[in-house]
Amino acid sequence: VQLQASGGGTVQPGDSLRLSCVASSHTFRSYAVGWFRQAPGKERMFVAVVGVNDESVYNSDSVKGRFTISRDNAKRSAYLQMNSLQPEDAAVYYCAAAPRPITGPNWWQWSSEYRIWGQGTLVTVSS
């Protein structure tokens, strides 16, 4: 499976964006898909993950209530709907996939647990 992320852009504070992550294979349906972001000079940070049964987990400190992760297996795609964007949300956003359920000791928050990564899409939030 290969992933391609898209949908980034430059927006103003309070605006919305929807990121997409498209997979090359229908085996995508067997993978959990996570979104991470990395701001300049900072470590890559977990944003959200969606499991094979559409269950989801968020980095509640940063994005819960503003971001929504979802997937459409028929389209081999996962999405990150981002509302009420703030300057601190500016980063390169990456999607990643791992062939395991989102159960257990929070493995999904660690970037090292994901085997497959998309190329990243840049989100800029500026007034």
* 14-33 confidence digits (pLDDT tens): 999 999 999 999 999 999 99
Place 60 in a pLDDT band, splitting at 50, 70 and 90.
Answer: confident
Helix residue spans in the chain (DSSP H) = none
Q: Which of 80, 97, 96, 78 is nearest to 30 (CA)?
A: 97
* Residue 2 identity: Q
- pLDDT of 10 reads 97
DSSP state of 110: -
Place 109 in a pLDDT band, splitting at 50, 70 and 90.
Answer: very high
For the chain, what percentages of helix, strand and coil (3-state, to nearest 5) are there?
A: 15, 45, 40
**Residue 22's Cα: distance from chain center in Å?**
12
- pLDDT of 61 reads 82
